[in-house]
Amino acid sequence: MSPRHWAATAARLLLSALLAGGLGVSGYLAWHHDNKLYGDATAKLANCPHTETVDCDVVNTSPWSELMGVPIAAYAVPTYLLVLVLTWADRSRSTALAYAFSIGVLATLLSGFLFYISKTQIGFLCLWCMRLYAVNVSIPILASVAARRSPLALLGRTLADLRSWPRGLRWALGFFVVALGVTVAAQKGYRSWLEKTTAREIERIESEGGPTVPAIPQDPSGRTPAPGPADESGVPAPVPAPTQKGGTADGGDPPISRALAPRPRRGELAPLPGLLRPVTLFASAPAAEAPSGAAPPAGAPPGPAPPARQEAPAAEPPAPPAVPPPAAPYHLAGPLRRVSGGRSGMKSEPFDLQSRLGKGKPLALIFWAPGYRQSESALMEWTPFFRGSASAFEVYAVSGRRRDQKDEEIWENFSMMDQPVDLPLLVDDDFKVSNALNVADVPNVALFDARGALVIAKIKHRRQMLVVQPANATAEEIVKKLSAGGDVPTIQRMFPYYPATELYGKCAPSFTLKKFNSNQSFTFAGRSSSGLPTMLIFWSSTCAHCQVEIPHLVAWLKEHPGKIEVVSVTHIKAERPNEPSHRKVTEAYLRSQGISWVVLEDPDRAVEELYGTVSTPTLYFIDPDGTVQDAWFYAHEHGFDQAMAKELARVVPTGATCRGSEPRSGPRMDFSVLGPDGRRVGLDSLVDRPTLVHFWATWCVPCARELPSLLRFRDGVEKEAGGRLILVSVENENARPQIQGFQKRVGSDLRSYHAPAGGIAEKVDLSYRVPRTYLIGPGGAVLDSWQGEQKWDDAAFRERVRSRLKNSGA
């Protein structure tokens, strides 16, 4: 056999292998397209990183991804089948390979066109699509080698046959038509099955009251807790709880995000895919550099590093609502410590909570985290409820603790919440107990019955609905039943709770943010100035569920101009080495979707927190009078137009004045200080606006390093942001000469107060870590905090602090 013959055979074999691979890729893309748009929106293409230039999901679900109702990728199936047959047909002649060559040329031209569309119209590339482009380019090359003819000869042969339509060409066309018909029929049948399955699933979910989420860990006995995610060493990593921010902390995406509230929704449940989407609930900022700080001269331990954003597990198909509780008491995964403190220092001792389980009294654990306002509010609301309405319970407040955290940080926040003196504060080192119970996504309340069996672990709110027999009940009803000695089987499922529902019927909070990629400020006054209703959207360009909802909204607005005003809020993650730029990804997404509405940046998630948003997408519907009438927490697979019609009928002007929201309960800072003039004044008399209270000391090296940039920031924030900065030295009453000497050395008038006394100063040694800064509202409400030395000259950090000052909700 001659070398040319060997080369031709090898080309046929290689082309066949590529075509077989192309058939698999095209089928995979068609499956993803139909599932993403008509079935399960969580379907994703594997091995395709999301960067500022690559997004397979967006490309494969864009308007360009379909032709006449059929996924573009599906057309590759009959094409590749025909080329595969032509590759091995009539091997003694080159006619069939000439047809294969010409088909490959057309496929290559189409690939170039689709690549151009991806770059210029969609804004992203699809790596899976480019694999098909590579197959298409290989067809004419390998067909030419297999035919042992020049490309021009093969193309000329095809053009000549197109003039006479010989039998071979007619056969090839007939094969393609039949293969195309079978492919389209199969695709249409699969899509129809998806739609019917999704409709049945939606009907089932709605008949059961809406989607539910797990209420207990996988093992309710606690004896074999599931391991956490492993790090590179293979050791399971603990799941951290939300905490205060520090340094350059910056948030990740929520989901999930998340739509049933603890009370009946005003709006309709948004249609859901066949398998419910995962949602991000009660998430916090991800890990960042540990802030530097100083303790008294003995040394300065590092400050806490904020943890990764927590994500709630995906909602699952309903399980049996309750199972008989285990006979033995729940087995706690680790030891706990009880901490308390005072001005003279901290006290820590082991606490045997395990011995309290199964001793004839029900037990409640309120899991919270210092600095996370939702969990602090929950602790302050649950404690009096247990005392007044469920007094049979033993109640404990539990906070997880990372190794870089100090007990004083937890105790300080706890003490500022004015809890009963006999409420024990337990510390869960390394989150061993929290991880086993799956409650690190605070707030959570875990209930154990009088026998010590775990009843439920993840209650978010008293009015949250739980799935129990014979009828669903609120969390507070279950608590009262257990307190009265009732028997409650282990509760496996519950309905999600969304803090945003507390805004229904109340004024939409106003805020001021900068427009995306701009220094131009935009103030949302809580209502539209045009008299139209307003849709306020919290979203992210990298949120898969937002990518389902946003295209529907863009299309709807084009068809219904002038019906509603849209304002959107997004959080842009900080730039990180070797990671795609979230800002560039967002830029590309805005361009590819043709988004024309206002897009605002929420640099420190202050507005997100102001609205109680815990997931993306979240869409608020605000009537022309400024009242929040409804919210969506899920993206729509189907029925977007019908859902919008119902919302527009609801958000009509009434002329009524909206009701303001009640201030959220939380920590309050209270003490008195000596002023520069030597007179003692209360903190409340100094805080008449959002105020930064900065603790420092003359002996603190990080404080001295930080103060120059902080003082520069003070000048700007008091003029531009309408805030105030107060310096408080944690040194005693005799420190005035040291402070004056320090001022001379730095050459600045610090206007510093010192010697805090009374209030929180009697409950904790305020010098436990300096520097640290608190954002305080009128009345002493703690709105935010930053542990350790901060980069006050860093533009991004300054913008985050300014946003907090302007949008604190004080």
Q: How far apart are the first and last CA of the chain?
A: 87
Burial state string for 340-370 with b = 16 or more CB within 10 A and e = fewer than 16: bbeeeebeeeebebbebbbeebbbbbbbbbb
The confidence band for 1, taking pLDDT boundaries of 50, 70 and 90, is low
Euclidean distance between CA atoms 204 and 320, whole angstroms: 15
Euclidean distance between CA atoms 318 and 290, whole angstroms: 41
pLDDT (mean) for 59-81 = 92
Higher pLDDT among residues 85 and 63, named by residue: 85
Euclidean distance between CA atoms 720 and 715, whole angstroms: 9
Q: What pLDDT was estimated at residue 285?
A: 34
The confidence band for 109, taking pLDDT boundaries of 50, 70 and 90, is very high
Token pair belonging to 109: 């031209």
Burial state string for 730-757 with b = 16 or more CB within 10 A and e = fewer than 16: bbeeebbeebeebbeeeeeebebbbbbe
**Using one digit for the tens of pLDDT, what is the confidence trace for 506-549?**
999 999 999 999 999 999 998 888 889 999 999 998 887 888 89
> Does the pLDDT at position 28 exceed 60?
yes
Euclidean distance between CA atoms 754 and 342, whole angstroms: 19
Q: Give residues with Cβ within 8 angstroms of 495, minimum separation 6.
A: 209, 210, 211, 212, 213, 260, 262, 464, 465, 466, 467, 472
**Using one digit for the tens of pLDDT, what is the confidence trace for 464-509?**
999 999 989 999 999 999 999 999 999 999 999 999 999 999 999 9
Euclidean distance between CA atoms 445 and 482, whole angstroms: 14
Report the sign of the C-alpha dihedral through residues 501, 503, 504, 510, in that order.
Answer: negative
**Using one digit for the tens of pLDDT, what is the confidence trace for 386-396?**
999 999 999 99
**In which residue are the tokens 């089932």 written?**
204
Token pair belonging to 295: 């303790």
Q: What pLDDT was estimated at residue 91?
A: 63
**Pair 643, 636: CB distance under 8 Å:** yes
pLDDT (mean) for 214-240 = 52
> Does the pLDDT at position 579 exceed 90?
no
Q: What pLDDT was estimated at residue 588?
A: 87
Token pair belonging to 169: 């060409």
| List of E strands, 560-601 | 565-570, 598-601
> Does the pLDDT at position 446 exceed 60?
yes
Q: What are residue 726's DSSP bridge partners?
A: 693
The confidence band for 3, taking pLDDT boundaries of 50, 70 and 90, is confident
**Pair 571, 603: CB distance under 8 Å:** yes
Euclidean distance between CA atoms 29 and 130, whole angstroms: 12
**Pair 399, 487: CB distance under 8 Å:** no
The confidence band for 327, taking pLDDT boundaries of 50, 70 and 90, is low
The confidence band for 212, taking pLDDT boundaries of 50, 70 and 90, is confident
The confidence band for 63, taking pLDDT boundaries of 50, 70 and 90, is confident
Q: What pLDDT was estimated at residue 118?
A: 87
Higher pLDDT among residues 56 and 363, named by residue: 363
> Does the pLDDT at position 314 exceed 60?
no
pLDDT (mean) for 92-121 = 90
The confidence band for 323, taking pLDDT boundaries of 50, 70 and 90, is low
> Does the pLDDT at position 266 exceed 60?
no
**Domain 3-190 in CATH: superfamily?**
VKOR domain (1.20.1440.130)
Find how far residue 761's CA is from the centre of its chain.
36
The confidence band for 223, taking pLDDT boundaries of 50, 70 and 90, is low
**In which residue are the tokens 């799941």 written?**
239
Single-letter amino acid code for the residue at 650: R
Segment holding 25, helix H or strand E: helix 3-38
Q: Domain coordinates of the chain in residue numbers?
A: 3-190, 322-496, 501-650, 672-806
Domain 322-496 has CATH 3.40.30.10: yes
Segment holding 683, helix H or strand E: helix 683-686
Other beta carbons within 10 Å of 54: 19
User: For the chain, how many residues are written?
Assistant: 810
Maximum CA pair distance of the chain? Answer: 107
- Dihedral pair phi/psi, residue 319, rounded to 5°: -105, 170
Q: What pLDDT was estimated at residue 124?
A: 84
- In order of 65, 441, 490, 630, the CA distances from 457 in angstroms are 44, 11, 10, 29
Residue 776, CB half-sphere, CA atoms under 13 Å: how many? 26
- Dihedral pair phi/psi, residue 11, rounded to 5°: -65, -40
Window from 66-75, 122-131, 592-601 with minimum mean pLDDT: 122-131
> Residue 736 in 3-state DSSP?
helix
pLDDT (mean) for 778-804 = 91
CA dihedral of 212, 492, 423, 282, whole degrees rounded to 10: -30
Euclidean distance between CA atoms 131 and 154, whole angstroms: 25
Q: What pLDDT was estimated at residue 326?
A: 57
Domain 501-650 fold is: Glutaredoxin (3.40.30)
Euclidean distance between CA atoms 657 and 527, whole angstroms: 12
> Does the pLDDT at position 452 exceed 90?
yes
> Does the pLDDT at position 809 exceed 70?
no
Q: At what angle do helices 3-38 and 127-147 cross, to 10 degrees?
A: 150
Q: Give residues with Cβ within 8 angstroms of 241, minimum separation 6.
A: 284, 307, 310, 367, 369, 372, 399, 400, 431, 434, 440, 441, 442
Token pair belonging to 739: 């402070």
Percent of the chain residues topping a pLDDT of 70: 86
Q: What pLDDT was estimated at residue 514?
A: 95
3-state per-residue secondary structure call for 105-170: HHHHHHHHHHHHHHHHHHCCECHHHHHHHHHHHHHHHHHHHHHCCCHHHHHHHHHHHHHHCCHHHH
Higher pLDDT among residues 308 and 430, named by residue: 430
The confidence band for 133, taking pLDDT boundaries of 50, 70 and 90, is very high
- In order of 33, 46, 110, 131, 542, the CA distances from 115 in angstroms are 18, 20, 9, 12, 22
pLDDT mean across residues, the chain? 84
- Dihedral pair phi/psi, residue 230, rounded to 5°: -85, 145
Euclidean distance between CA atoms 109 and 121, whole angstroms: 18
Q: What pLDDT was estimated at residue 361?
A: 96
Q: What pLDDT was estimated at residue 268?
A: 30
> Does the pLDDT at position 248 exceed 50?
no
Token pair belonging to 216: 């207990």
CATH number, domain 672-806, options 3.40.640.10, 2.40.37.10, 3.40.30.10, 3.20.20.220: 3.40.30.10
> Residue 6 in 3-state DSSP?
helix
Q: What pLDDT was estimated at residue 53?
A: 82
Q: What are residue 565's DSSP bridge partners?
A: 534
Percent of the chain residues topping a pLDDT of 90: 62
> Does the pLDDT at position 8 exceed 90?
no
Taking only Cα atoms into account, the Rg of the chain, rounded to an integer number of angstroms, comes to: 32
> Does the pLDDT at position 423 exceed 60?
yes
> Does the pLDDT at position 300 exceed 70?
no
Peptide bond into 307 cis (omega under 30): no
Higher pLDDT among residues 73 and 545, named by residue: 73
> Does the pLDDT at position 292 exceed 60?
no
**Is there a common fold for 3-190 and 672-806?**
no
Q: Give residues with Cβ within 8 angstroms of 159, minimum separation 6.
A: none
Give 41's DSSP letter: T
3-state per-residue secondary structure call for 475-487: HHHHHHHHHCCCC
pLDDT (mean) for 372-393 = 95
Q: Give residues with Cβ within 8 angstroms of 17, minimum separation 6.
A: none
Q: What pLDDT was estimated at residue 64?
A: 87
**Pair 775, 736: CB distance under 8 Å:** no
Euclidean distance between CA atoms 47 and 263, whole angstroms: 41
Q: At what angle do helices 546-559 and 582-593 cross, to 10 degrees?
A: 30
**Using one digit for the tens of pLDDT, what is the confidence trace for 638-677?**
789 999 999 999 998 887 888 887 777 899 999 999 999 8
